[in-house]
Amino acid sequence: MNPLVAPDSRHDAGRCALSVNVNKVALLRNTRHLGIPSVSKAAELCLLAGAQGITVHPRPDGRHIRTHDVHELAALLGKDWPQAEYNIEGNPTQNLMDFVRQVRPHQVTFVPDSEDQFTSDHGWNLPADMERLRPLVAECKSLGVRVSLFMDPVPQAMPFVAELGADRIELYTETYASAWGTERQAEVLAGFTATAQAALAVGLGINAGHDLNRENLTDFLRAVPGVQEVSIGHALIADALELGYAETVREYQRAIQRAYA
Ligand SMILES: CC(=O)[C@@H](O)[C@H](O)COP(=O)(O)O
Ligand SMILES: NCC(=O)COP(=O)(O)O
């Protein structure tokens, strides 16, 4: 454990871990040839403040996270942050598997994005995608990498995820984020709760992400059982522009803790 780690950052068993997605730091960095803001420095400051992991999504077009970022973060976490989890997201039929083979992160999250997609906006279509995914899941598992599949809140799809041999799902939470604070919140949240229950029933772990923020996070974690990790990037980095990385991470950790109070 890094001696500089904040004492309150120890992750209580049973509580949801926070994985900070640093895509948007890289996006800003890429707009000049100056190397700032530093992606590695952002990751280090978030971990120092109590984040339990770092997530990257190295898209094929290199719009934000690039190959060197993936390897620099792997080196940083491996050297100074052995207790932190490294999660690499992407489409395994594109560039993702090379990163998995070279880096062997703690977790890989399969996301069915096209190369030119504006952002991630849907989960896998199971059972239709199963045969394409089966060997890729098996290879990641053989490398000792936990596999999570990015999924829409569809309870009926959970047995197919388990049959593939994946370890977890990542609930795609954009529909929840859009409904949060409206009269549709409870109805939409019920779909996530049912999906989580179906995932737990077939032995899957549960992650969640996309458009989560410090306002909507607590309600989600209160309603959806078994969430082990949230990966949050866009809103968290936007908050950090105002509050700084450390106070922002502490705010998100407080939002998580309120769900279990
Ligand atoms: C899979 C997902 O929902 C996000 O992790 C994704 O990484 C967002 O990608 P952009 O940061 O490119 O919008
Ligand atoms: N998997 C979700 C993620 O890593 C970040 O999504 P967002 O918070 O940038 O929408």
Task: With respect to residue 11, please indicate whether it lies within any of the assigned structural domains.
Answer: no
Task: With respect to residue 10, please indicate whether it lies within any of the assigned structural domains.
Answer: no
Place of tokens 């890989």: 108
- The residues, any chain, with a CB within 8 Å of residue 220's CB and separated by 6 or more, are 173, 176, 189, 192, 208, 212, 227, 259
234 annotated ligand-binding residue: yes
Task: With respect to residue 241, please indicate whether it lies within any of the assigned structural domains.
Answer: yes
- The CB of 55 under 6 Å from ligand 2? The reply is yes
Task: With respect to residue 45, please indicate whether it lies within any of the assigned structural domains.
Answer: yes
Which of the listed residues 25, 89, 124 should we mutate to test ligand 1's pocket, taking the one with most ligand atoms within 8 A of CB? 89
* Per-residue pLDDT in tens (0 to 9) along the chain, 261 residues: 444 444 344 445 568 999 999 999 999 999 999 999 999 999 999 999 999 999 999 999 999 999 999 999 999 999 999 999 999 999 999 999 999 999 999 999 999 999 999 999 999 999 999 999 999 999 999 999 999 999 999 999 999 999 999 999 999 999 999 999 999 999 999 999 999 999 999 999 999 999 999 999 999 999 999 999 999 999 999 999 999 999 999 999 999 999 999
pLDDT of 94? 97
Task: With respect to residue 1, please indicate whether it lies within any of the assigned structural domains.
Answer: no
Task: With respect to residue 3, please indicate whether it lies within any of the assigned structural domains.
Answer: no
Contact call for residues 246 and 48 (beta carbons, < 8 A): yes
Indicate the SS3 state at residue 200: helix
Place of tokens 């395994």: 92
Indicate the SS3 state at residue 175: helix
d(CA 15, CA 241): 27
The domain spanning residue 68 has which CATH number?
A: 3.20.20.70
From the CA of 12, how far away is ligand 1's center (Å)? 27
The domain containing residue 153 runs over which residues? 16-259
Which run of H or of E encompasses 141?
Answer: helix 130-142
How many other C-beta atoms are found inside a 10 Å radius of the C-beta of residue 197? 15
pTM: 0.95
Q: What are phi and psi of 88, to 5 degrees?
A: -110, 125
Task: With respect to residue 7, please indicate whether it lies within any of the assigned structural domains.
Answer: no
* Nearest protein CA to atom 9 of ligand 1, as residue: 119
Ligand with smallest separation from the Cα of 118? 1
Ligand 2 atom at shortest distance from the alpha carbon of 109: 1
pLDDT of 15? 86
d(CA 1, CA 166): 29
How many domains is the chain built from? 1
